[in-house]
């Protein structure tokens, strides 16, 4: 799934070429968008702003019309110079905007809707987002406050699900979820009621640090904003070796980079997303209301492939 930093990069690149420009052509593979375009044509409207809110990308047009897309698993926005060959087939196109010299194309976005400012505010499936980890206004104190509020309102929520919850903090995806919990030494299945202020601070700080670092990485390695695709270059360790770029994500059964214990994985949360953790670096701590039993499926033993060398 594209993470907040990817959507942010897409929004930034789109903003750079689209802001202030007039739409000269619009096309869509979705009937519900075509109907709106028939009634309230896009051609002639000025693109006012492009913003990301967590996983959502919003293109604000003059005359109170907003094109909202959510990438989910498969979607992406590409930018092309007019006349340039598209990297994805035309039948994957879901929305297409042309301005002078440029084309912006949304491929395979499963969710695309038009809104007015008021319908957007009412739409419950477009959540009011928590503090955006990539906004200039975000501070770790905002993040801690958001986590504390969640712990008070939902003390039984598991921390890794909360890290993914865009209404709490906006921007983290499934990869960072595991990485952030590892960094803070927090078992991802621990209840919010067990998370200390110090652990919240660590998670709030490192979430912002990693997302920002990866945004910078992306723009420098692609050498500009010409084409936006999902790169796999997220990095949380400081290793220069591409293979060692993550602490635990995707490393089930491999040795923890810190302690050598074997990394575990279990599905978690409403979407049954894969969660990875080190059982030694991230010890299980039950909530006061729980038994001392670890969650089902947790074998309790810390396996090590080797000790020492």
Interface contacts to Zn ion, rule CB under 5 A: 256, 258-259, 261, 278, 280-281
> In sequence order, which ranges of 59-139 are alpha helices (DSSP H)?
117-122
Task: Tell me if 164 sits within 8 A of 177, measured CB to CB.
Answer: yes
CA distance 126 to 111: 11
The catalytic position among 2, 131, 188, 279 is 2
Smallest separation (angstroms) from Zn ion to the CB of 303? 11
| Least spacing, CB of residue 278 vs Zn ion, in Å | 3
Least distance from Zn ion to the Cβ atom of residue 186, Å: 13
Query: Catalytic annotation on 55?
Result: yes
Q: For Zn ion, which is the closer residue by CB, 78 or 202?
A: 202
| Integer Cα distance of 62 and 283 in angstroms | 53
- Give the nearer residue to Zn ion in terms of CB position, either 42 or 175: 175
Q: Which is nearer to Zn ion, 21 or 257 (CB)?
A: 257
CB 71 within 8 A of CB 109: yes
Closest by CA position to 276, among listed 189, 212, 165:
189
- For residue 289, count other CB atoms closer than 10 A to its CB: 9
CB 16 within 8 A of CB 99: no
Spatial neighbors of 64 by CB under 8 A, at least 6 apart, are: 116, 117
Q: How far is the CB of 299 from Zn ion (least distance, A)?
A: 16
> Is-catalytic flag, 3?
yes
Q: Judge contact between 42 and 66, C-beta under 8 A.
A: no
List the catalytic residue out of 51, 55, 113, 199. Answer: 55
Would you say 115 or 266 has its CB closer to Zn ion? 266
End-to-end CA distance of the chain: 37
Shortest distance in whole angstroms from residue 137 CB to Zn ion: 34
Both tokens of 306, joined, read 């080797």
Closer residue to Zn ion in complex, CB, 5/179: 179
Angstrom distances, CA of residue 93 to CA of 10, 24, 29, 234, 295: 16, 17, 6, 27, 43
Of 57 and 262, nearer to Zn ion (C-beta) is: 262
Token digits for 270?
Answer: 């409403």
> Can 158 be counted among the known catalytic residues?
no
> C-beta of 43: minimal distance to Zn ion in Å?
57
Enzyme catalytic residues: 2-3, 55
């Amino acid at each position: 799934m594209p993470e907040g930093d990817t959507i942010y990069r897409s929004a930034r690149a789109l903003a750079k070429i689209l802001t202030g420009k007039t739409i000269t052509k619009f096309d869509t593979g979705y009937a519900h968008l075509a109907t709106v375009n028939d009634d309230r044509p896009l051609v002639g409207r000025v693109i006012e702003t492009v913003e990301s809110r967590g996983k959502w990308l919003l293109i604000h047009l003059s005359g109170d019309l907003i094109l909202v897309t959510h990438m989910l698993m498969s979607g992406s926005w590409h930018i092309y110079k007019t006349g340039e060959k598209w990297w994805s087939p035309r039948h994957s196109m879901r929305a297409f905007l042309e301005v002078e010299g440029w084309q912006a194309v949304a491929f395979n976005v499963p969710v695309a809707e038009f809104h007015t400012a008021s319908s957007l505010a009412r739409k419950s499936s477009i959540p009011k987002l928590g503090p955006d980890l990539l906004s200039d206004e975000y501070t770790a104190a905002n993040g801690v406050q958001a986590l504390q509020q969640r712990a008070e309102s939902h003390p039984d929520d598991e921390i890794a699900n909360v890290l993914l919850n865009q209404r709490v903090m906006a921007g983290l995806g499934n990869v960072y979820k595991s990485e952030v919990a590892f960094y803070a030494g927090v078992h991802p299945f621990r209840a919010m009621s067990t998370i200390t202020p110090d652990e919240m601070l660590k998670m709030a700080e490192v979430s912002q640090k990693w997302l920002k670092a990866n945004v910078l990485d992306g723009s420098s390695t692609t050498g500009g904003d010409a084409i936006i695709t999902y790169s796999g270059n997220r990095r949380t360790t400081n290793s220069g070796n591409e293979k060692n770029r993550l602490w635990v994500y995707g490393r089930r059964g491999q040795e923890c980079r810190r302690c050598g214990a074997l990394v575990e994985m279990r599905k978690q949360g409403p979407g049954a997303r894969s969660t990875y953790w080190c059982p030694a670096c991230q010890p299980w701590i039950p909530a006061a209301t729980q038994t001392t039993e670890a969650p089902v499926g947790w074998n309790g033993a810390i396996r090590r492939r080797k000790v020492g060398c």
